[in-house]
């Protein structure tokens, strides 16, 4: 048996704020990426949460409550007491106790492709690092359409001077000097704002 065997833990607290609060309650130091797990294999199945520090190969990945992760102690005293735990992998990626098989809509896919997302300080560049076309703010554009374009066009009229210059009188026109409103009127679209993608 390895000196530091890997065991399967179930994630119980992963929110940084909640983890920090739990650490404060227990009087232990908080470390970035720390979570609390139960480890049924060691007899900690329910409320006995063990703090586990971050040990995944990715720079940072927030695991979710209910996930099963591989945990291992890195300090074991001569008495056998395990003092410090790290979670170093995600277990049972192909399913869980409910036999749910991840598909393209469920699983997180990390793939190296030619078109990706680049983070540069406080900005994001989509497709390539050199992308420099700014995205339009949807709410501001919608306000401009409804408050300026639609209103201005609706209030805009043309004077009619009579039957000359190629203008043909139509039924209901009072005569020379009548004001003609645009036909058809402008109506602002009501379905152009995304319900899934937001920015600032």
Q: What is the pLDDT of residues 52-64, one digit of tens each?
A: 999 988 877 888 8
Where does a domain end: 34, 63, 90? 90
| pLDDT given for residue 30 in this prediction | 93
Q: Give every residue of the chain whose pLDDT is below 50, as ranges.
A: 1, 110, 176
Is 65 among the domain residues? Answer: yes
Q: Which structural domain, as residue segments, surrounds residue 152?
A: 138-180
The domain total for the chain is 2
Q: Are strands 82-90 and 50-54 parallel, antiparallel or unpaired?
A: parallel
Is 117 among the domain residues? Answer: no
Whether 14 and 76 map to the same domain: the answer is yes
For residue 50, give the nearest of 80, 28, 76 by alpha carbon.
Answer: 28
Is 72 among the domain residues? Answer: yes
| pLDDT given for residue 46 in this prediction | 61
Is 103 among the domain residues? Answer: no
Is 191 among the domain residues? Answer: no
Whether 86 and 11 map to the same domain: the answer is yes
Is 50 among the domain residues? Answer: yes
Neighbouring CB atoms inside 10 A of 25's CB total 8
Summarize pLDDT for 133-179 with one digit per residue, the tens. 888 888 888 888 888 877 777 776 665 555 555 555 555 555 545 55
- Rounded (to 5) percent helix, strand, coil in the chain: 15, 25, 60
Is 168 among the domain residues? Answer: yes
Report the predicted TM-score, pTM, of the whole model to 2 decimal places. 0.51
């Amino acid at each position: 048996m390895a000196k530091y065997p890997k065991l399967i833990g179930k994630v119980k607290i992963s929110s940084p704020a909640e983890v920090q609060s739990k650490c404060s309650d227990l009087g232990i130091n908080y470390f970035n990426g720390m979570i609390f797990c139960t480890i049924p294999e060691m007899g900690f199945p329910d409320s006995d949460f063990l703090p586990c520090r971050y040990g995944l190969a990715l720079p940072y990945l927030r695991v979710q409550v209910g996930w099963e992760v591989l945990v291992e102690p890195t300090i074991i005293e001569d008495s056998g007491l395990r003092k410090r735990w790290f979670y170093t992998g995600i277990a049972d990626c192909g399913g869980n106790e409910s036999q749910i098989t991840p598909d393209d809509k469920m699983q997180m896919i990390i793939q190296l492709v030619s078109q990706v997302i680049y983070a540069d300080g406080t900005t994001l560049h989509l497709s390539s690092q050199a992308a420099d076309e700014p995205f339009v703010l949807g709410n501001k554009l919608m306000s401009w359409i409804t408050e300026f374009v639609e209103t201005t066009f609706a209030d805009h009229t043309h004077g009619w001077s009579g039957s000359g210059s190629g203008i043909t009188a139509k039924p209901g026109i009072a005569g020379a000097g009548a004001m003609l409103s645009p036909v058809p009127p402008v109506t602002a679209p009501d379905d152009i704002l995304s319900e899934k993608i937001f920015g600032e």
